[in-house]
Amino acid sequence: AFDINKLLSQAGMTALDYGYGNTASCRSAITYIDGDAGILRYRGYPIEQLAEKSTFLETSYLLIYGELPTQSELDSFTNKIRRHTLLHEDLKRFFDGFPRDAHPMPVLSSAVSALSTFYQDSLDPFDQEAVELSTVRLLAKVPTIAAYAYKKSVGQPFLYPDNSLGLVENFLRMTFGFPAEPYEVDPVFVKALDTLLILHADHEQNCSTSTVRMVGSSQANLFASISAGVNALFGPLHGGANQAVLEMLQRIEREFEGDVDKFVERVKNKEDKSARLMGFGHRVYKNYDPRAKIIKQQADEILKGLGVNDPLLDIAMRLEERALADDYFIERKLYPNVDFYTGVIYRAMGFPTRMFTVLFALGRLPGWIAHRREMINDPTTRIGRPRQLYVGATKRDYVEMSAR
Ligand code: ACO
Cβ-contact 178, 150 below 8 angstroms: no
Q: How confident is the model at residue 189 (pLDDT cuts 50, 70, 90)?
A: confident
Mean pLDDT value of segment 84-95? 96
Cβ-contact 280, 325 below 8 angstroms: no
**How far, in Å, is the centroid of ligand 1 from the Cα of 87?**
39
Task: Beginning with the edge strand found earlier in the chain, give each strand of the sheet holding 39-42 in spatial order.
Answer: 31-34, 39-42, 45-46
pLDDT at 10: 85
| pLDDT higher than threshold 70 for residue 242 | yes
* Minimum CA distance residue for ligand 1 atom 47: 238
88 is catalytic: no
282 is catalytic: yes
Given 103, 202, 339, 371, which residue is catalytic? 339
**How far, in Å, is the centroid of ligand 1 from the Cα of 192?**
28
Q: Which residue has the higher pLDDT, 183 or 2?
A: 183
What is the CB neighbour count within 10 angstroms for residue 252?
Answer: 22
pLDDT at 273: 66
Q: How confident is the model at residue 274 (pLDDT cuts 50, 70, 90)?
A: low
pLDDT at 48: 97
pLDDT at 14: 87
Q: What is the C-alpha to C-alpha distance for residues 299 and 342, in angstroms, rounded to an integer?
A: 8
- DSSP state letter for 272: S
When mean pLDDT is compared across 92-96, 110-114, 183-187, the lowest value belongs to: 183-187
Mean pLDDT value of segment 15-25? 92
* Minimum CA distance residue for ligand 1 atom 46: 238
| pLDDT higher than threshold 80 for residue 164 | yes
Nearest to 221 by CA among 212, 230, 233: 212
Which of 282, 288, 322, 341 is the pocket-test mutation for ligand 1 (most atoms within 8 Å of CB)? 282
How far lies 107's CA from each of 145, 165, 190, 243, 245, in Å? 9, 25, 24, 16, 22
Q: How confident is the model at residue 1 (pLDDT cuts 50, 70, 90)?
A: low
**How far, in Å, is the centroid of ligand 1 from the Cα of 279?**
9
* Minimum CA distance residue for ligand 1 atom 14: 332
Q: Which residues does a 6 A CB cutoff place in the pocket of ligand 1?
A: 19, 237-239, 241, 267, 276-283, 332, 334, 337-339
pLDDT at 92: 95
Mean pLDDT value of segment 346-361? 93
* Minimum CA distance residue for ligand 1 atom 11: 332
Mean pLDDT value of segment 218-234? 97
pLDDT at 60: 98
**How far, in Å, is the centroid of ligand 1 from the Cα of 57?**
32
pLDDT at 309: 85
What is the CB neighbour count within 10 angstroms for residue 35?
Answer: 15
Q: What is the C-alpha to C-alpha distance for residues 143 and 282, in angstroms, rounded to an integer?
A: 28
* pLDDT, mean over the chain: 93
Which of 208, 319, 334, 346 is the pocket-test mutation for ligand 1 (most atoms within 8 Å of CB)? 334
* Minimum CA distance residue for ligand 1 atom 41: 278
Mean pLDDT value of segment 193-213? 97
| pLDDT higher than threshold 90 for residue 221 | yes
Ligand 1: nearest atom to the Cα of 276: 1
pLDDT at 2: 67
Q: Give every CB contact of residue 30 below 8 A, 6+ residues apart in sequence.
A: 42, 43, 63, 202, 204, 367, 370, 371, 374
The pLDDT tens digits for 39-74 are 999 999 999 999 999 999 999 999 999 999 999 999
Cβ-contact 225, 331 below 8 angstroms: no
**How far, in Å, is the centroid of ligand 1 from the Cα of 205?**
17
- ipTM of this predicted complex? 0.94
Which amino acid is it at 116? S
pLDDT at 5: 76
pLDDT at 353: 92
| pLDDT higher than threshold 90 for residue 269 | no
| pLDDT higher than threshold 90 for residue 93 | yes
Mean pLDDT value of segment 147-175? 95
Which of 246, 267, 283, 346 is the pocket-test mutation for ligand 1 (most atoms within 8 Å of CB)? 283
Given 282, 314, 327, 397, which residue is catalytic? 282
